[in-house]
Amino acid sequence: MPVGPKGKVAEATAEETAAKVSGDKKKRSKSFPTLPLPDAITIIKSAGEHGMEHSLGAFAKYCGHTSANSGPFKQKLSSFKDWKLVSVNGDRVTITDSSRPLILEKDAASIAAATRSAFTSCDIMERFYQEMAKGVVYSPADLRKHAVVEFEVSSESSGMFAKSIASSAVAAGLATASDDAGSVTFKVPGEVEGAEVEPEVEDSEDDSLQTRGRGAGSGQGAVPPSAPGQAPVVVRQTWLTTHGEVTFEIRSREPLTAGAFGAVAKIVTEAGLLAADLGEPEAGDDLGSA
């Protein structure tokens, strides 16, 4: 077959036709948790009150569905797995260890750390947060556009993504709501609650001296002052035990990154379990009373 201008035109036309056919196929949207994190946590708390493992049918009921085979339930279940709140094995749904502080813990610091851990464990949400400018207001339209252009979310699903990322980031303490229309302002690392450098304070039994950045466990006490040249405390959490206390503390001259809180949440969970193994404090015990 002779090769010439005509042949080249024919070849190009075939390539263009193939590209058009491929482009005409509906592009599958990038997967993301359609159930916002605060809604997922509400359901997890409800289910967790009745145990840490459930049948698919029972978990569907907690999610407000009558059947485990329905499309809406399967979509919600996928969101729970994206947030790493549950694992699924056959027809059994198990609440993960990392999400159990959301159910078992009473102090705000542990719950906040577990919420942030759930957010940062979802790859697409964590990457979206990291890429966005901090201290700048993003409207729902801005969030939708970025999701479509940069994260391959379909235009049809972009509105759902914008709602999910906005409410989830706010719940995780990584953003603040800027209005009632769904606009948000993502926080710079130093503005994330729990990441601020704390002022040095003297020991005191007054709980009012507790500041952001130091978690309160079973017991509370003032953050000890930093020695000259020593990095300040940015995270501190204490659990009272029968014969003493367990304390988890991080000192740093730089604010912790949002991703670091995932590791913090895991350590807090394990430290809480250790404290429980060591026994509950007797009535009237307090920090420093030994």
**Range of weakest confidence among 167-171, 243-247, 265-269:** 265-269
Give the model's confidence band at 36: pLDDT under 50 very low, under 70 low, under 90 confident, else very high: very high
pLDDT at 140 over 90: yes
The string of pLDDT tens digits covering residues 159-180 is: 999 999 999 999 999 999 988 8
Q: CA of 204: how far to CAs of 190, 221, 222, 288, in Å?
A: 26, 7, 6, 10
What's the whole-number average pLDDT of the chain? 77
**For the stretch 225-239, what's the b/e string if a residue is b when 16 or more beta carbons lie within 10 angstroms of its beta carbon?**
eeeeeeebbbbbbbb
Span 57-62, mean pLDDT?
Answer: 96
pLDDT at 99 over 70: yes
Q: CA of 158: how far to CAs of 11, 32, 97, 149, 166, in Å?
A: 37, 10, 31, 10, 12
In this predicted structure, what is the pLDDT of residue 67? 92
In this predicted structure, what is the pLDDT of residue 33? 96
- The answer to whether the predicted template modeling score (pTM) of the entire model surpasses 0.85 is no
